[in-house]
Copies of this chain bind each other. A is one copy, B any other.
């Protein structure tokens, strides 16, 4: 029921995802009165692969996570996670309140042994392929051990999502000049070097988009500011480009001819293409869609959830953590 656009977008995304993946089944959790019309509109009201599961409550986007967890036991978010816990569903996807989703998922699904809190992981486009980055904001302060866990979880997820047998992982740090980062990353580097991971060493901010490594590990503070700054920069540039093409006759003509190029660029930039952040470290698959995601973007989050559950990502992570 969550997200900025409400159930319409979610239902349209379900229709797309079902068309794209013939093996997919969806349990749509929410208020029946709000979902019936969108289901009819999307032609899903009689689709046997899409079942409506009623939930009477909705967690607000600004609601306190602890309050939502304690007070709303029949929220769409809670019921969806309950389904994952009792095996009725293989994964949960939500565009709702991130904090509430994390807190509820942690309570309902429990953590993989050795992991204290989930981390948020998402792919960003890179010059060469894409880069998985974590943590993107769940853990503002991290210990060196947590960063190592992020590396292990990220590499396990990268194997599942991209099929790479031995993904490379880098630790985000600042320029090698003057001071090489803070105490935590220095200590974490020793842990990474001693682990069985394919550790590339320190990477810098530009390496995220260069695609230097498959997985970039950072604390949730840096990860979140980098992600949001990138969104802001991309938005500014697209606005610039659009503005520039509207000034004068030649640029307008050029814009007509260049339309496919610009649409292509916009698609590459589009957070939707990379929409779907995995909450890793839980004993179940949970994917968070961006609140502003459209149907295509939300469908991508569903696709990621299906991939992660098909390969049982939580199980892969637990095995990797045991191996060290």
Contact = CB atoms under 8 A, between A and B. Distances in A.
- Size range of the chain A interface in the assembly: 35 or more
Contact of A261 (B205, B244, B268, B269): B244
22 contacts: A98-B178, A99-B179, A138-B178, A140-B182, A174-B228, A205-B224, A205-B225, A205-B229, A209-B233, A210-B232, A210-B236, A225-B225, A226-B229, A229-B230, A230-B230, A230-B233, A245-B261, A247-B261, A250-B257, A251-B258, A253-B257, A254-B261
A240 B232 CA distance: 18
Interface in A172-198: 172, 174-175, 177-179, 181-183
Copies of this chain: 2
Complex A-B, nearest 10 residue pairs according to Cβ-Cβ distance, in ascending order = A205-B228, A99-B178, A206-B232, A254-B257, A205-B229, A254-B258, A209-B232, A174-B224, A99-B177, A205-B225
A114 interface: no
B140 A179 contact: yes
A99 B178 CA distance: 4
Contacts of A241: 261, 265
